[in-house]
Amino acid sequence: MKRLLRSRMTLVGGVLVLAVIFACTFPSCLSSYNPRAFSPEQLAAPSSHHPFGTDSYGRDVLSLVLNSGWGTLVLAAATLLVSAGVGIPCGILAGYSGGGLDMTLSRIVDVLMSFPAMMVALLVVGFFGSAGRGPLIVAIGLTLVPRFARVMRGSALPFRSIEYITAARSVGASRLRILLRHVLPNLVAPIIVLCSTYLPYVILLESSLSFLGLGAPPDSPTWGRIVADGRHYFRAAPWLVVFPGLTITLAAIGFNLLGDGLRDVLDPHLRGRMVQ
């Protein structure tokens, strides 16, 4: 805990992340407007009554950003859960087992990472469609699976020759028992670092897909969807894009700083091995 408090990067990132989470969890503390309420004040410029202005329907943009932020964070967390649930077991199994299994999984990861993340996401969304959040979560999650697997493989490699792992094998412990009781608990730190590092990546990729019209549907508001809807009025009302875009940037910076700080404090050996 003392090392975390001494890290300025971690403190700044943590404050930004907590501020974003608090604002998205309790939006009524910052804006009393109903994000679904229409008004005659269409495309009103930022003012004391509407700090972020209003959109083409007269809705308060600040309320839209705050209330859609929770949906963005939930989508990002679900995506990380899917990608980590697939990539972490594959990476640990490949790194600990070695041999043909390691070779096969490593080559599959290399093939998947040879394609740009945006191309993979567009392919999945184009194949399954963009109705609902399910296809979007799968599309973005698949781009992170090989990244989780590669880092976890590198982290699990040293466990092949550790003495207590060898002792556990000598007394007849199964591979599954060794992985669950000895290997996985020692990889909690890099897993936390990976999740905090890739969370802003998910937010930015979702925003990019929404800007292309392939993101979350209109009934599932996210920050990317707000930017995508506001780009049609950019010349007349630039605040429809600027303020949601700044919110995305602020959240991404906060999670990046927090992830980098946690990496340096919890697992300095992971530095330089993160795959972007």
Tens digits of residue pLDDT in 123-171:
877 777 666 677 788 888 888 999 999 989 988 888 877 888 888 888 8
Give backbone dihedrals phi and psi of 60, rounded to 5 degrees, phi first: -70, 120
* Tokens coding 218: 């209109």
**SS3 call for 54:** strand
Task: Please report the pLDDT score of residue 149 as a whole number.
Answer: 92
For residue 276, what pLDDT is reported? 41
Nearest alpha carbon to residue 24 among 52, 66, 65, 63: 66
Structure tokens at 31: 């804006």
| pLDDT at position 126 | 74
Count Cα neighbours of 103 within 13 Å in the Cβ-side half-sphere.
2
Helix, strand or coil, per DSSP, at residue 37 = coil
Which residues of the chain, if any, have pLDDT below 70?
Answer: 1-5, 129-132, 215-220, 266-276
Per-residue pLDDT, 274: 42
3-state helix, strand, coil in the chain (%, to 5): 75, 0, 25
pLDDT value of position 88: 92
Nearest-angstrom CA–CA distance, 261 and 13: 8
Task: Give the number of C-alpha atoms closer than 13 A to the C-alpha of residue 59, restricted to the C-beta side.
Answer: 18
Buried/exposed code over 192-203 (b: 16+ C-beta within 10 A; e: otherwise): ebbbbbbbbbbb
Bridge partner residues of 60 (DSSP): 54
CA distance 272 to 263: 10
Instruction: Count Cβ neighbours within 10 Å for each residue of 258-270 and write b for 16 or more, e otherwise.
Output: bbbbbbbbbbeeb
Which residues lie across from 54 on neighbouring strands? Answer: 60
CB 203 within 8 A of CB 226: no
pLDDT value for 139:
83
- Residue-level pLDDT at 86: 92
For the stretch 11-50, what's the b/e string if a residue is b when 16 or more beta carbons lie within 10 angstroms of its beta carbon?
Answer: eebbebbeebeebbeebeeebebebeeeeebeebebeeeb
Global pTM value: 0.79
pLDDT score, position 217: 67
pLDDT at 134: 78
- In angstroms, the CA 100 to CA 103 distance is 5
Neighbours of 54 (CB within 10 A): 28
Give the helix ranges, DSSP H, for 129-174. Answer: 134-156, 163-170
Show the tokens assigned to 158.
């040293």
